[in-house]
Amino acid sequence: MGEKKSVTVNIYGNEYTMKGEADPQYISDLAKYVDLKMNEIGKKSSAPAAKVAILASMNIADELHRLEKSKAENIRLIETLEKSLLEMKKSSDGSLKHTMELKEHLDQYKAEAVENKKRAEESAAESAKLKKEFEDSAKKSSELKPEVDKAREELDVAKRKIADLNKETERLKTDLIQTQSQLEELKQDFAEAQGLNEEAQGEIQDLRAKGDKMNSEFKQVREALEKAKQTPPPAPKTPPPPTVENFLPTEEKLHALFKKIDAILE
């Protein structure tokens, strides 16, 4: 084993002394990268250092995961290209130019895979470093427990208020259903009253038609009566024959009858 070297780094405003066999400059570069990530998150959030460290760890872990995934995809691509190359070698007519082009692509993908592997290893080292930082931050988070308990109490109070509001909402729903039922009953009563009104209007129309007919008939009778009055009867030597006046009501009786008919029509 090599000799462990001590390096003092600054991460998110705090100094840490680290020991390791790796090159001090490499360790310092890792610390700068972690500090950069935490400062990026700290500028966007006012969260405590412990939470910032967790978020930075998640970001670096995400980068590592993406690199690992990219590495796996590159390996699968290389394997696919190698398989295709072998199949082409077997089935091709020995076209050297096409084969060289494939080899160039394969070499390019291999170089990218090596680079991705290197990045993945660097991210793994960074994740290990952040894991230790996370554990230290977890200890500090215990100091926040009173604030968390207080927040939970406030949450319980809010839940009780919501429950009360839900009960009030249910009561209002019940009242609304009853009101709607009463409204339906009123609608039915109104429909029945409207039907009765239509029937009454029909009867009134019939009575008016009958009254008009009676008025017409009485008008004819009156005209006949007036005409009979204006024609002087002959001077009979014998008793006069019965006239229309003997069979028709007097004018006073006709006026009384007309008044009764108008009263009925009104």
Domains of the chain and CATH, by start: 5-156 (1.10.287)
For 147-158, how does the pLDDT look when each residue is reduced to its tens digit (9 = 90+)? 758 868 897 887
| The pLDDT value given to residue 162 | 67
Per-residue pLDDT of the chain (266 residues; tens, 9 = 90+): 667 888 999 999 899 998 888 889 999 999 999 999 999 998 887 888 889 989 999 999 999 999 999 999 999 999 998 888 888 878 766 666 766 787 888 788 688 868 878 886 886 787 677 667 757 655 765 676 777 588 688 978 878 986 887 888 798 688 878 878 886 886 887 688 688 768 868 876 887 788 788 778 878 877 887 887 776 655 555 655 555 555 556 677 777 877 887 777 76
| The pLDDT value given to residue 241 | 58
| The pLDDT value given to residue 105 | 81
| The pLDDT value given to residue 65 | 93
CA distances from 32 to 8, 11, 64, 131 (A): 11, 7, 17, 16
| The pLDDT value given to residue 10 | 93
| The pLDDT value given to residue 106 | 73
The CB-based long-range contact list for 261-264 (8 Å cut-off, 24+ gap) reads 261/211, 261/214, 261/215, 262/211, 264/207, 264/211
| The pLDDT value given to residue 190 | 63
Number of other CB atoms surrounding residue 186 within 10 Å? 10
| The pLDDT value given to residue 34 | 93
Contact indicator for 27, 20 with CB cutoff of 8 Å: yes
| The pLDDT value given to residue 175 | 83
Q: How far apart are CA 37 and CA 33, in angstroms?
A: 6
